[in-house]
Amino acid sequence: MTVRRTRRWRGIVAVALFVGGVGVVAARPLVLLLGVVGAAFAAYPHLTATPEVRLDIERRFGDDSPDDGDDVVVTVRVQNTGDSTLTDLRIVDGVPPMLTVSDGSPRHAAVLRPGKTTEFEYTVGAARGRHRFEPATVVARDVAGTREVETTVDTETELACTGTVPEVPLRQQTEQQSGRVITDEGGSGIEFHQTREYRHGDPMSRIDWKRHAKTGELTTIEFREERTASVVLLVDATADAYRARRADEQNAVAHSLAGAEQMLTALSNTRNFVGLAGIGREFAWLAPGTGPEHGDAASTLLATSPTFSTIPPSESERESGSGKNGENEEWDVQSQHAELQRRLGSNAQVVLLTPLTSPDVLTMALGLEANGTRVTVVSPDVTNEETVGGRLAATERENRMRTLRESRIPVVDWNPETDRLGTELLRAQEGVA
CA angle at residue 378 from 298 to 355, to 5 degrees? 100
pLDDT, tens digit (0-9, with 9 covering 90-100), for 139-190? 988 766 667 888 999 888 888 776 656 556 666 644 444 344 433 334 444 4
Selected residue with higher pLDDT from 85 and 34:
85
For position 52, what pLDDT does the model report? 83
C-beta of residue 169 within 8 angstroms of C-beta of residue 412: yes
Phi, psi of 44 (to 5 degrees): -60, -45
Please determine whether the domains at 55-161 and 230-313+327-429 fall in the same fold group of CATH: no
For position 190, what pLDDT does the model report? 43
pLDDT band for 80, please (50, 70, 90 cuts): very high
pLDDT band for 322, please (50, 70, 90 cuts): very low
Residue-averaged pLDDT of the chain? 79
What is d(CA 245, CA 390) in angstroms, rounded to the nearest whole number? 8
Whether 272 has a pLDDT exceeding 90, the answer reads no
Whether 89 has a pLDDT exceeding 70, the answer reads yes
Whether 72 has a pLDDT exceeding 90, the answer reads yes
Phi, psi of 323 (to 5 degrees): 75, 15
Residue ranges of the domains in the chain? 2-47, 55-161, 178-227, 230-313+327-429
Selected residue with higher pLDDT from 381 and 322:
381
pLDDT band for 81, please (50, 70, 90 cuts): very high
For position 27, what pLDDT does the model report? 62
For position 145, what pLDDT does the model report? 62
pLDDT, tens digit (0-9, with 9 covering 90-100), for 225-270? 455 668 999 999 999 999 998 887 889 999 999 888 888 888 877 7
- What topology does CATH give the domain 55-161? Immunoglobulin-like (2.60.40)
Whether 417 has a pLDDT exceeding 90, the answer reads no
What is d(CA 85, CA 92) in angstroms, rounded to the nearest whole number? 19
Q: How many residues does the chain have?
A: 433
Looking at 1.10.150, 3.30.2000, 1.10.3120, 3.40.50, the CATH number of the domain 230-313+327-429 comes to 3.40.50
Q: What percent of the chain has pLDDT over 70?
A: 72
For position 348, what pLDDT does the model report? 86
Q: What percent of the chain has pLDDT over 90?
A: 37
Whether 75 has a pLDDT exceeding 90, the answer reads yes
For position 367, what pLDDT does the model report? 93
Handedness of CA 251, 368, 336, 362 (dihedral sign): negative
- Give me the long-range contacts of 150-157 (CB less than 8 A, separation at least 24): 150/1, 150/2, 150/3, 150/4, 151/1, 151/2, 151/53, 152/94, 153/55, 153/56, 153/57, 153/78, 154/57, 154/94, 155/56, 155/57, 155/58, 155/59, 156/132, 156/303, 156/304, 157/59, 157/132, 157/133
Q: Among 126-135, 141-150, 284-293, where is mean pLDDT lowest?
A: 141-150
